[in-house]
A and B are shown apart, each in its own frame.
Chain A
Amino acid sequence: MLTGVIEFRIDRHSGVSTYVQIVQQVKQAMRLGLLAPGDRLPSAREVVDATAVNPNTVLKAYRELEREGLAQGRRGLGTFITKSLASEATAGDDAPLRKELGRWMGHAREGGLVVEDVDALYSAVRDEHYPAEERS
């Protein structure tokens, strides 16, 4: 029943607050090119109908996206994406880095690694290249 382009999946047991989950899912969709400038985010009522979360939390997440310059609320119309986070490196199934990671994932699976091994390796290498203190 959503007329928006994306639907939020709220994990109640992740320990991550609902509003942070919504912000992260919007950004993720933007990076992957699933949300582009001009797209309308689902209204608070639409999110309530789909997930029964608190509409104030949805609006708080949207205000955070506005504060970061990624979206803009238009009175009576809704909240719209104003910026693109997608780049050729991240959007689409053919993006070169994505294909490279896909090949790596394939090797991992063939090598008999389970998903926890893959996650551990990925985060270890990620933290080497992107030290926590340098992240915003």
Chain B
Amino acid sequence: MTPLTATAVGKRYGRRWAVRDCTFSLPEGKVVALVGPNGAGKSTLLRMAAGLVRPTTGELRAFDTPVRGRIHPDVSFLAQDRPLHGHLTVREMIRLVAALNDRWSTDRVEEMLALQAGVDRDATIRTLSAGTRTQVAIALALGRLPRLLLLDEPLSDLDPLARDETLRIIMAEVADRGTTVVMSSHLLADLREVCDHMLLIDDGQVQIDGDIDDVLARHRILVGPAADETAVQGALVSATRTPRQTTMLVRDPQPTPHGWTGTEPDLESLVMGYLRAARDRSARRD
């Protein structure tokens, strides 16, 4: 069953469309990077998928059930502000969330927290470091035994060690239970090594949707003489030019023409190419 599908989903706040005409379908068991610049619509999309925000147009379905005003029982969502009660202890917080959920496993929460050395169950939440707070919040999200885990910017504000520990919890969940994970970030470098699927959102729309290795293999960066651009065949995504030299990002290219060099892009250059193209389109529209 498909964990999450979006059909022509849009969300308008006043006169501004935060998300426009988004259609995609997430493959089961994947770790999905939801990437895009700040303000691209990532949080809005996740909040709609969690049933916290109602789409203006279109429909989202979680495990084939339309998302309407409440979160699907098989879905867990962690908002960017990590909503925990600061005055409770870790133990009290676990008990509170347990009482709020029909399907719940305190054992699972404890198991995931055990991956971390030194989370004091009697510490008050507000005294915890940002990293520990995030890890407690993720462990609580896993207590629902989700089949789809939605994480909004789970790695922001974390130091390198906390970041590594947090990823370890999420990856252990994927290895143990085959959970589908969607993680958003405006920093691509955060996600590249742990995700196998990407959803690139910019300007409210899906720019790339696919298996990361497949997407990279379908693209080439071609560098060659500016006078000879017509030699290149394939779908041009974006290009940068000097008087003599042209650098193009091309999708589904034909064999590299004579006088040009072609290399497979890395994830950063691919994403930059698409974002640049989206900027240019948006500038022309306005």
Contact = CB atoms under 8 A, between A and B. Distances in A.
A54 B193 contact: yes
A52 B195 CA distance: 11
Interface string B164-195: 10011001101110000000000000000111
A17 B31 CA distance: 16
Interface residues of B, number: 18
Interface in B1-53: 29-31
B213 interface: yes
B168 A49 contact: yes
B196 interface: yes
Contact of B213 (A15, A17, A43, A52): A17
Interface in B216-258: 216
A15 B216 CA distance: 12
A23 to B, nearest CB: 12
A52 B174 CA distance: 11
Contacts of A85: none
B46 to A, nearest CB: 20
A18 interface: yes
A48 B213 contact: no
A1 to B, nearest CB: 12
A60 B167 CA distance: 19
B266 A53 contact: no
Contact of B31 (A43, A44, A56): A56
Contacts of A55: 171, 174-175
A12 B191 CA distance: 11
A45 B172 contact: yes
Contacts of B196: 54, 56-57, 60
Nearest to A16: B266
Which 6 A-B pairs give the minimum distances between C-beta atoms?
A55-B175, A45-B175, A52-B168, A48-B171, A44-B175, A54-B194
A56 B168 contact: no
A19 interface: yes
Contact of B175 (A10, A12, A17, A48): A48
B31 A54 contact: yes
Contacts of A54: 31, 171, 174, 193-196
A15 B266 contact: yes
A60 B196 CA distance: 10
Interface in A15-69: 15, 17-19, 43-45, 48-49, 52-57, 60
